[in-house]
Structure 1
């Protein structure tokens, strides 16, 4: 089972720039997409060979998450849940289009089937934030909601429920190992603040596994995002902010991980690169 997560930075633009060639060569069984910035019909048309569910942001042209599975694969889409907040308590400016939770069923069960999910996946797009602004307040509010949901999902898996993979653009590094320029950014810019990092570390302390890091504990990076400014991509001055975070039993099935970094700046179809992990049956 190959699972890929990537912030597409607008699925229409990604399609124009070559996303389809990457999908064909990588052939993920499951794709978790962020910053889709399109409605479900538009996104589905750009993902031939896949069945997808999309949660657009209520603000047109922003955020948006999607989950897609191969039409000829072993998994099918089941129940989808939209948003990390409890129903009736949503905060649209905080949560809209940022957390799409989907149960995956054995292929043939069909959407809406009562069969126990084979796996629950989450496509997550956490806020980037900006220090000293309302955007940072929204980021911390969303992280608080995510903390509570992560605890509930972990407890459900431990109680015999389906294993869970939460993946996406989390917009936070964990340490100097995850960013080229740690010292000039640490506690000076959103994404590298100790208060943000503490949220992620609380998940891993409770039992969640950072799958890519578990497979490469000593490696610098590998980075998944590079600023569009200057020569960041050419100099590999990147950030590791795209993750696959799994419950322990699922993480134990991870066999290999890679970042599909474009060969050159001109060949990029997003400012992020896909994080691709293969899991054994």
Structure 2
């Protein structure tokens, strides 16, 4: 795999819905080595995708029409792991890990804290378990994590930080947890390249014409082990791709 590689991550807000909105064209145009999906909202057998040249891996939530993740890749992994090795958190299909000789790829749809923060405690428990899971992987070999991490880390990562303070995805608890995670040897790859870029987001509410007004949040990430920094050539947010309330994010690497 000693060549430029492209990683894509996209919360599609329902895979069965997005296939009706030119998903095939978007998928083929992006031509990624690794195409990671969050919020598939489906069960096994509900959709058959024809993706020549790609291995397909799905993790389904037990609850129908909810959560779920998938990875489509041109590169057969050594091993595939579903969940984060926690019985408390592995019922919602929120993570898939692919193991390769020199790195792990993890995609995740992190729990949303919900209206009135009714799931904040569950979310914070997830963060503890997930960060420990990633730390254990990172001890073995470098990690590339992607997905909808459901947190806008800094005030520049959402349009209206003042009015959204203490709302799900922008609580002090979630933001501090993400800071703690990065301090354990990981980097937010987009901010690595574009530390001060403003007004670029990956999610917009369907309400109030938010995308037209670019009133969004940056909650979709590629996070990588710090020791991969020299191998990463760019990290992008593909705001011109439609079909979901999220847009895809992209990571480009050389030989890992």
Aligned ranges for residues 95-110 of structure 1 at < 5 Å? Answer: 95-104=91-100
Q: Using the alignment, how far apart are the partners of 1:177 and 1:136 within structure 2? A: 22
Partner of 1:137: 121
> Any unmatched runs of 5+ in structure 1?
105-116, 158-162
What count of residue pairs does the alignment treat as equivalent?
251
Partner of 1:45: 49
Q: Deviations over 1:3-25 (max 9, x none)?
A: 00110111110110111111111
Structure 1 residue 78: Cα displacement: 2.8
Q: Deviations over 1:34-60 (max 9, x none)?
A: 111223555551544421110000111
Aligned pair partner of 2:175 in 187, 192, 197: 197
> Any unmatched runs of 5+ in structure 2?
none
Partner of 2:76: 76
Structure 1 residue 246: Cα displacement: 0.6
Question: Is 1:171 matched up with 2:150?
Answer: yes
Aligned pair partner of 1:26 in 9, 22, 30: 30
Q: Deviations over 1:47-100 (max 9, x none)?
A: 444211100001111011111112xxxx213311111134xxx025x6520111
Aligned ranges for residues 88-237 of structure 1 at < 5 Å? Answer: 90-91=87-88, 95-104=91-100, 117-130=101-114, 132=116, 134-157=118-141, 163-187=142-166, 189-237=167-215
Q: Using the alignment, how far apart are the partners of 2:245 and 2:126 within structure 1? A: 23
Q: Is the 8 A contact 1:52 1:69 kept in 2?
A: yes
How much is the aligned-residue C-alpha RMSD, in angstroms? 1.8
Q: Deviations over 1:207-227 (max 9, x none)?
A: 101111101111015210000
TM-score by length of 1: 0.83
TM-score by length of 2: 0.91
Partner of 1:66: 70
Question: Is 1:272 matched up with 2:246?
Answer: yes
